[in-house]
Structure 1
Amino acid sequence: MADASLISPTTERRTSPRAAYRKRRRRRERVHMFGQLVDLVKPEEVLHHVQDAVAEGRKSLVANHNLHSLYLIQKHPEMRPFYDKAEMIEVDSTPMIWFSRALGLHSRGFHRCTYLDWRDHFWSVANRKGWRVMSVGGEPGVGEEAARRLGARYPRAEIRTRHGFFDATPGSADNAEIVAEIQAFKPHILFVGMGMPRQELWTLAVYDALPDCVIFSVGAAFDYEAGTQTPAPRWMGRAGVEWAYRLVQNPRRLFTRYCVEPWALIPLAIRDLRAARRRMIGKQARRTEDFGAPPVDNFPRGG
């Protein structure tokens, strides 16, 4: 597979003309970096995708990649099927956007996209449409506080939460109980926030048992909504220094993630850069073939 392959997921379900158009457009948005596929989408495009999926009543998985997940997927290859199922894979990393531009891809700063970038828009839509939203993850009590705060601002959205401290082993009583609760609630949106790679592996294990809804892996999203964690100002995300803000807040937990793990991606980065150079040389060669050799200067030189 070429490192800048443009690939779109397929579905057997009938989609609306608008959704079909957006799917064709995402063929140009899906690119290959660090050995993984990602979609160069803006926050509003994520919300368009969500609204289409909810309107059509189909199941859709929205994933995200950052430097941490790129590292983890090397250590936990069992995560790969999760990303294979995803209809959309957000880029949750400004350094990844910078690197994609070095590869000659059509990326811009606004393609850095995560829950904190689209949450206000999302909850406004959820409130207007009366969506049922369920969150699984976080410590006991965090989800309830997040739901209380969100409910005060968006009273028409129906919100239910379950903490992430349960036995997630397939076949366990805890697991069966939570899946049954999700099935009974029939959410339009399911947020899974249990940290990487647990949230991805759990979602993958129960995916077939989940009702038709849009499923997001969102990490600490409801911790931010509950006020137990403070998000970095959005300008820091756009500037690519949000990691420093989080590192100062929790150096013991995040030092390895931000200061050690990225070095393991260097071989993948070198491979991508070499492939990008080969593509550039190939394009130049084809351009020369298409337009012929450069014109010859027939004017005599000298006196």
Structure 2
Amino acid sequence: MDKPCRLFLLGAEVDVITPADVMAFVGRKVAAKERAIVANHNLHSLYLFQRRADMRAFYDKADLIEIDSTPMIAWAKLMGHKVSRTHRCTYLDFREDFWALAQKNGWRVYHVGGEAAHNAASKAAILARYPRVHLDLHTGFFDINGPANALLLADLRDKKPDVLLVGMGMPRQETWILNNLDRLPDCVILPVGAAFDYEAGVMYTPPRWTGRLGIEWLVRFFHEPKRLFERYFIEPWWLIPQALRDVWRLKRTA
């Protein structure tokens, strides 16, 4: 993959990449033993990006920024950019390719996130599909500013993972990566939200065809209306100024 096309969209930068591009990038960085951050943007992260300096600082550190949002894809197309749903990247879309590569190449994977009670089920689900995967787990429920964090960092230095998955939800996972970046081993770091809750079966996983049709958000909302109402129906209104800037920019270049 050549250097991806980077867009300025709804107030932030994103890369026009496919899940296959992401896996190729991860493979190159692991082979080179280089540290890299693969971040992602959706409407929720864009809302947080506008309101939190630490989120802006985190994305400044990112080497690759996925588009994890069908509405963002639709808006980019409306603004004349050459994008399609093939450029949507999310853990649920590339997880089988990721674990297949991890097993084939012997990657050491470390996941920080999820409840301790669910981690065994998450690992068992992955190993049932990819039994030779090297996977270490640490709960995401700990004081990120206390002694438990120092112990986690020591374990990471000892285990030396090739890939670090951080699934503590936005913005906690991004803040943790940003605050500890200089103390993390040289590995590829991906914030993955509730990825391992899906693996454990404790969170509903929408069929992948819902994402292709652009209705995954609606299916998620019907399953978790209380948690997702504000995220889906209130936060996007805060992006109207950024959307208007995109329209103004389009008119200037027309």
TM-score range relative to shorter protein = over 0.9
Aligned to 1:261: 235
With normalisation by structure 1, the TM-score equals 0.82
Aligned to 2:58: 82
Residues of 1 paired with 2:85 and 2:39: CA distance?
Answer: 19
- Name the SS of the counterpart of 2:186 in structure 1: coil
Query: Identity of paired residues, percent?
Result: 49
Aligned to 2:84: 108
Deviation at 1:209, TM superposition (A): 0.5
Equivalenced residue count is 254
Residues of 1 paired with 2:103 and 2:97: CA distance?
Answer: 10
Q: Which moves more between the two structures, 143-152 or 67-76?
A: 143-152
RMSD: 1.0
Q: What are structure 1's unaligned runs of at least 5 residues?
A: 1-21, 281-303
Aligned to 1:241: 215
Corresponding residue to 2:157 among 157, 171, 183: 183
Aligned to 1:128: 104
Query: Would the aligned equivalents of 1:135 and 1:143 in 2 still touch at CA under 8 Å?
Result: no
Residues of 1 paired with 2:123 and 2:106: CA distance?
Answer: 15
Residues of 2 paired with 1:129 and 1:155: CA distance?
Answer: 13
Deviation at 1:178, TM superposition (A): 0.7
Q: Which has the higher contact order (CA 8 A, sep 6+)?
A: 2
Deviation at 1:61, TM superposition (A): 0.3
Query: Would the aligned equivalents of 1:112 and 1:238 in 2 still touch at CA under 8 Å?
Result: no
- Name the SS of the counterpart of 1:191 in structure 2: strand
- Name the SS of the counterpart of 2:3 in structure 1: helix
Aligned to 1:277: 251
Query: Would the aligned equivalents of 1:190 and 1:216 in 2 still touch at CA under 8 Å?
Result: yes
Aligned to 1:232: 206
Residues of 1 paired with 2:200 and 2:46: CA distance?
Answer: 28
Runs of 4+ in 1 over 4 A off after TM superposition: none
Deviation at 1:93, TM superposition (A): 0.3
Larger Rg: 1
With normalisation by structure 2, the TM-score equals 0.98
Please list the CA deviations of residues 246-298 of structure 1 after superposition, one character each: whole Å capped at 9, or x if unmatched: 11111111100001111111111011011111111xxxxxxxxxxxxxxxxxx
Q: What are structure 2's unaligned runs of at least 5 residues?
A: none
Deviation at 1:152, TM superposition (A): 2.2
Residues of 2 paired with 1:138 and 1:243: CA distance?
Answer: 22
Aligned to 2:22: 46
Residues of 2 paired with 1:251 and 1:34: CA distance?
Answer: 25
